Amino acid sequence: MKKTALLVLLAAVAPVFAQQQQPRFEAAEVRVSPTAPGFGQNFGGVLREGRYVNRDATMLNLISSAYGVSEDNVAGGPGWISLDLFDVIAKVPEGTTPAAANLMLQSLLSERFGLVVTRGTRPVPRYVLTIGKGGSKLKPASGTGNPSCQPIQQPPAASPAPADQPNIKVACRNLPMAAIADNLHQMANGYFDHDVVDQTKLEGSFDFDIEWTGRGVLAAKGPDGISVFDAVEKQLGLKVDLQNIPMESFGVERITRKPAPNPSGVEASLSFAAARFEAADIKPVEPGAPPFVGLLYTGGSQMRAGGTLRQLIAMSLQVSPNVGDDLVVGLPKSADTQRWNINAKVPSTGEGAPNIVRGRPQPPPLSVGLEMLRGLLVERFEMKTHTETREVTVYALTLAGGRRKMTPADESERSGCRPDPSAPKPATNINTMIGCKNTTMADLAQNLQQMANAYIDHPVVDGTGLSGGWNFVMGWTPKTLMPAPGSPAANATTVEAADPNGITVFDAMERELGLKLVKQRKAIPVIVVDHVNEKPID
């Protein structure tokens, strides 16, 4: 065989050989996540008990994990890749490293979603971390432990008003500069809509404490607030600027929304035992005690839950507590009066165990935490439920009759809502404007239940008749900042007079989007509690 012919043959074989050598999971289950909208939380893939597990992941999350790049470096693709949630559970060979698992995930995305990506370099916006004029104030690390950033507990707020909320304080230890940049982005994501990259050229690891005001309450605090940009400069001696810098980028050329079917029997072979707390202490809350409603990871192996029995049941079944009166029915009267405090220990292994992500301890995904809470209510309160359709009070999202103030979205625009600091505010005491891209009216209805929970006390359903995705910006005054009923400001009748005093979410929908929230009765699925104890059993 001639040399040139041999080279041609090798060139033809090389891609096939490389494809055969690409690592693959031994078996894998891929499914659309059952997690309800707004309850998804993803910390990337983890390896445990011979499996790779990635829960409640958008396709952007999965591509980011597979290729080791930021989501901000992934371009193209349809809008749903930032919205739809998937679960991936796969069997891995013994000794598999996280890097090898990511290569296996690349193969999985190609085989099950038909993913095709291209690589290139392009200028992209990034927050660049450099040394400030006065020089770095970082201290060389004094220990050799794992890199970590831990929140510093603050005294409770004097009132629910945004101006009274405490600043965020964090103690970081043994962090190299790349990890500092990454942690800043994660901890202060209300300020950073792009990744933070390190260009300080500082070597080694560092210890530091930092304090800043959350983005949502910065305006309310006025001169007493400190932005994360000022905090980085004054407390760390560093500077953060938004620049366009050339970086490797990934383009999504082709992908399908529905994954290929799982092999027969794979789900049963890869399933975990149900996530459950190892132990839990359930105590009634004394009258007059500060209210706490939610599920909170408090560090280490501890989680805390609190609320009335109705609120706890609603959360555990992925229902926003503020609409629990309509969506959780069949409860005794005490379920709305007696509040409970739960201190629980998460398991040390399995899906409920915490993980170290980017040098910081992270809880299990929220859906897994709520699964453990649900299991606790079944075991200790003997809860039994079923779902049926009943007529309840809802807020129907309808057209207001005037000009619609939203624009149709291109299907390639990334779906989702995030803070938009540059958007003009229709009232002086709006903390944050929210920009939504490629958002359906059904998604908007769901978002309002959670984002405007102080106003929304009934489920929101879409009655607009509008199809497809829409782009819009919205914002409203926190309910705690609205004028008291009966005050001159509250009785103002003109838009001009009302603006300085705030705008409710109901007014915001009409004035900013051309929509209305109309209270009406409608048959929708609800959760019926067949049985629950009023007190926990030991």
Find the mean pLDDT for residues 172-190: 91
Q: What share of the chain in percent tops pLDDT 90? A: 67
CA-CA distance, 282 to 285, in Å (whole number)? 10
- For residue 48, the surrounding DSSP H or E stretch is strand 46-48
Helix (H, G, I), strand (E, B) or coil at 67: helix
Find the mean pLDDT for residues 177-198: 90
Pair 159, 182: CB distance under 8 Å: no
Taking only the tens place, the pLDDT of each residue in 432-459 is 889 999 999 999 999 999 999 999 999 9
Taking only the tens place, the pLDDT of each residue in 130-143 is 999 999 999 999 87
pLDDT of residue 486: 53
Q: How confident is the model at residue 360 (pLDDT cuts 50, 70, 90)?
A: low
Find the mean pLDDT for residues 31-41: 94
Find the mean pLDDT for residues 491-504: 51
CA-CA distance, 470 to 363, in Å (whole number)? 34
Taking only the tens place, the pLDDT of each residue in 367-400 is 999 999 999 999 999 999 999 999 999 999 999 9
Q: Which strands sit side by side in the sheet containing 148-151, from one edge to the other? A: 139-140, 205-212, 168-176, 148-151
Q: How confident is the model at residue 1 (pLDDT cuts 50, 70, 90)?
A: very low
pLDDT of residue 531: 97
Beta-strand relationship, 74-76 and 46-48: unpaired
Evaluate if residue 7 carries a pLDDT over 50.
Answer: no
Decide which of 6 and 462 is more confident.
Answer: 462
Mean pLDDT score of the chain, rounded to an integer? 88
pLDDT of residue 370: 97
Find the mean pLDDT for residues 208-236: 90
Lowest mean pLDDT among 3-12, 257-266, 318-327, 478-487: 3-12
CA-CA distance, 223 to 336, in Å (whole number)? 40
Q: How confident is the model at residue 11 (pLDDT cuts 50, 70, 90)?
A: very low
| This prediction's pTM | 0.80
pLDDT of residue 269: 92
Task: Dig out the tokens for 259 from the structure.
Answer: 């994954």
Helix, strand and coil in the chain, % to nearest 5: 30, 30, 40
Find the mean pLDDT for residues 82-95: 96
Taking only the tens place, the pLDDT of each residue in 264-281 is 999 999 988 899 999 999
Q: How confident is the model at residue 500 (pLDDT cuts 50, 70, 90)?
A: low
Decide which of 358 and 111 is more confident.
Answer: 111
Task: Dig out the tokens for 249 from the structure.
Answer: 């980028």
Evaluate if residue 421 carries a pLDDT over 80.
Answer: no
Beta-strand relationship, 116-131 and 196-198: parallel
Interaxial angle between packed helices 59-67 and 98-113, expressed in degrees from 0 to 180 and rounded to the nearest 10: 130
Taking only the tens place, the pLDDT of each residue in 302-338 is 999 999 999 999 999 999 999 999 999 999 999 999 9
CA-CA distance, 329 to 377, in Å (whole number)? 16
